[in-house]
Amino acid sequence: MTTTASPLHQPLRIRGLELPNRIAMSPMTRTFSPGGVPTEDVAQYYRRRAEGGTGLIVTEGVGIDHPSAIDHPDVPNMHTPAARDGWRRVVDQVHEAGGRIVPQLWHVGPLFGAMTDMPHIAPMRPSGVWGTPGVTSYPQEYVDRAVPETAAMTEDDIAAVIAAYADAARTSVELGFDGIAIHGGHGYLLDSFLWSSTNLRDDAWGGDLQRRTAFPVAVVRAIREAIGDDLPIVYRFSQHKQQDFTARIAETPEELGLILGAIVDAGADVLDASSRRFDAPAFEGSDLSLAGWAKKTTGAITMSVGCVGLGKSLRDGRLAGGSVESVDNIAELERRIGTGEFDLAAIGRLHLADPRITETLRNGGPLPTFDRAVHESVLT
């Protein structure tokens, strides 16, 4: 188990932000913000992780100001006056506890309606398609409802969404957040422009792989212009999709580098590589992880997430139900950070099981047991 000399507990500077260690709280949707407004309970929830020593807190997904950005009334937003006041309380509580926090800005794109059926609102899809169904944890009822084609995004749609991202980022900085995170993975809107199964366009926003990067690049560039040069941008990406866990946006390291290099050039600082296991090889012929390849192909700071301290991925754990066996893979996590394969470790479910997981790791304590029925049902 780790000690203060561990690579996990070494500081890291990202632009103007100083992190005391390499442990981040991974974003996790909680739906505890009635009407999109973070409550005092939400503020205390994040404060407890800051008090536990977490180096960087990445919030749950936060809806930008667009009609189809989020599909659940209790997912927080960043644009109503009440929500802004709620987030200001969150930021103040985290800072008072010595923490650092960034909001993960979110537009669900093709996956609108997965959480709550809202048939009166049209989803935003690059080409009007949901994506080729594959291995998924979604119920068949939702897949059947989602698969029929809708209208493709227009130029006005694209411009409105880009502007909404920039506005949300600007508001976040005004509220005191320490940077911006962007959800660009899992089949949601930004990722759907990268994935060939959902982007069938033949205009400036689609075509070959390089042209499919145009929309996420435009979003990152707009956010960078909105927040200035001092604060970091964290960009989450993935190969797998909610529509199909076997899907890929890149078949080779070179393709991955083309995508991520464009995103870094647009202003992203940290590439948040979401995979089902942090140590899973990303491509045949190498044991290098997805975060490792992201760093190798771009030179950027990278963060890995997936099954830290746990034996089942999020999807497999939810399908199994109940508790998930703890697996002490922390030494392997330390080894990979120590060799420079990636720079940060995002921990999700263990942050729910133990708000002081960073302190627990630093002190060599036992790994907690994650129980979905207990830890996903309340804010602890």
Using alpha carbons, select from 133, 150, 154 the residue that is nearest to residue 142. 133
- Bridge-based pairing of strands 301-305 and 12-14 is unpaired
Dihedral of alpha carbons 184, 189, 192, 193, sign? negative
Q: 330 is written with which tokens?
A: 């922390």
Select which of 45, 165, 188, 235 is catalytic.
188
Quickly tell me which residue has 């200001």 as its tokens: 88
DSSP-derived letter for residue 147 is -
Amino acid at 12: L
Q: Catalogue the E-assigned strands of 301-365.
A: 301-305, 323-324, 344-347
Q: Give the helix/strand (H/E) hosting 19.
A: strand 17-19
Contact 294, 331 (CB under 8 A): no
Active site residue 45: no
d(CA 145, CA 126): 18
What's the half-sphere exposure (Cβ side, CA atoms, 13 Å) at 270? 32
Burial 143-168 (b: 16+ CB within 10 A, else e): eeebeeebebbeeebbebbbebbbbb
d(CA 74, CA 70): 10
CB count in 10 Å sphere of residue 366:
10
Annotated catalytic residues are 188
